[in-house]
Structure 1
Amino acid sequence: MSKRANNWYISFKYDNEPTQTAKERDVIGVDVGINTLATCSDGTKFANAKAYKQAKKRLTRYQRRVNKKELGSKNRAKAVKRLSKLHKKVADIRADTLHQLTTWLAKNHSTIVIEDLNVSGMLKNHKLASAIADCGFYEFKRQLTYKCEWYGSELVIAPRFYPSSQICSNCGHQQKMPLNLRTYECSNCGFTADRDFNAAVNLENYGMEVA
């Protein structure tokens, strides 16, 4: 039993029998990011809810109100409760967005290919840490792992240093791709594509190679 924002929750375990669902596609590559939460190799995109970013000003304001209240007072308890409710709302929005994405992937695709992101390392970038944490990359991988087991799908994780963003998905040429470049323009064959979509197609190709 646990308590979140003045609400009580009961946790329990149960045995779940995997349910094989009909698949719409054999292999799909998924590139996750900050601007767009997920870009898939079939062209589907999932927007990032950015729940924390949208609530940041209110969270800061509520936190200031808590700090100004006298310790042990009823007014402080009310302020803490209000702050806790907003934190819970942010977490719930993020979780719901991830659940919709991971359920769709696991139910409708035989093999899902993602990258092994170094989330802890990414969070050391102070300029992007807040935005990265708001995406919930670790939770994305966790949900996708158990849902693939539920729906009879396979999760393939490309190696951490697989250069999905640098490879041309059309001809296989590899070139440097600084983070500020949002369009992939191949210097070898002239192929042009959205950076994230190109990476997602490369992840799909990787999944078909290792299958």
Structure 2
Amino acid sequence: IANPRHERRDRARLALAQRRLAKKAKGSANRAKARHKVARIHARITDRRRDGLHKLTTRLVRENQTLVIEDLTVRNMVRNRRLARAISDAAWSDFRSMLEYKAAWYGREVIAVDRFFPSSRLCSACGALAEAMPLHVRIWTCGCGVTHDRDVNAAKNLLAAGRAVSACGAGVRPQRRTPGGQSATKQEIHGATRGISRL
């Protein structure tokens, strides 16, 4: 989502400016100048990120009638120290917000699949569910013999789940529960993923 070229250069400038700020005497005029410089770099990073998000979300909404996303718990995910920087840089919450309001403008549909749907662990070829899968596992092979790229497999499963929700009119909010205790999205999944390898 972010622009890697600008992001890397701005991050290097930010790190240098922060080191210089740390060396300035507290209360000095030079410290105030250094603090303003750090703030300007932060603002530049934010502006460039938002510009990239606007361009991407506008293109996605213009080119697609229905967009399927995963209802991720970003607040919990940033607690992971290894992922916090990448998740914050991607600005997923802003991305979803822009996508939803632009979809409303253009008359498009945004479907958020339940956050508990095992998109990565569900075989998109046979529908079998793999055991717990750590984040470092990027490639895995199902018992049916099909080898999956974790992200591609998840995208296929999310697409099928989104189509099921769109076709059946099921709820897309994870808070909406059925009497059996599962979200409407979950109840449609197994039928939706059968034959997904043809996508």
TM-score of the two chains, using structure 1 as the length reference: 0.70
1:198 alignment partner, SS class: helix
Give aligned-pair identity as a percent.
45
Which of the numbers 50, 63, 85 marks the counterpart of 1:108? 63
Q: 1:88 aligns with which of 40, 43, 49?
A: 43
Q: Where does 1:15-94 land on structure 2 (aligned, <5 Å)?
A: 37=1, 49=4, 55-94=10-49
Which consecutive segments of 4 or more residues in structure 1 shift more than 6 A?
Answer: none
Count of residue pairs brought into register by the alignment: 165
The 3-state SS of whatever aligns with 1:98 is helix
Question: Counterpart amino acid of 1:85?
Answer: R
- Provide the C-alpha distance between the structure 1 equivalents of 2:89 and 2:109, rounded to a whole number of angstroms: 26
Q: Deviations over 1:158-197 (max 9, x none)?
A: 1110111011112211113321121242222x22232111
Residue in 2 that maps onto 1:173? 128
CA-atom RMSD in angstroms: 2.2
| Structure 2 Cα separation of the partners of residues 60 and 101 of structure 1 | 27
Contact 1:51-1:134 within 8 A present in 2 as well:
no
Which amino acid is the alignment partner of residue 128 of structure 1? L
Residue 136 (1) aligns with residue 57 (2) = no
Q: CA deviation at 1:62?
A: 1.1
Structure with greater contact order relative to length (CA < 8 Å, sep ≥ 6): 1
Letter in 2 for 1:187: G
User: Is residue 53–residue 131 contact of structure 1 (8 Å, CA) maintained in 2?
Assistant: no
Structure 1 position 117 matched with structure 2 position 39 = no
In 1, Cα distance between equivalents of 2:91 and 2:8:
13
Residue identity in the other structure for 2:46: A
Q: Which has the higher strand share?
A: 1
Which deviations, in whole Å up to 9, do the C-alpha atoms of 1:55-102 show, x marking residues without a partner?
Answer: 444323212322333445442332222212211121122222222221
CA distance in 2, matches of 1:48, 1:184: 30
Look up the SS of the partner of 1:128 in the other structure: helix
**2:4 partner SS:** coil
In structure 1, give the amino acid aligned to 2:43.
K
| Structure 2 SS opposite 1:193 | strand
SS at match of 2:121: coil
Give the Cα separation in 1 of the matches to 2:71 and 2:6.
24
Q: Whose helix fraction is larger, Structure 1's or Structure 2's?
A: 2
1:205 maps to what in 2?
160
* TM-score, scaled to structure 2: 0.73
Query: What secondary structure is seen at the aligned counterpart in 2 of 1:187?
Result: coil
Partner of 2:177: none
The aligned residue for residue 186 of structure 1 is: 142
Range moving further from structure 2, 91-100 or 65-74: 65-74
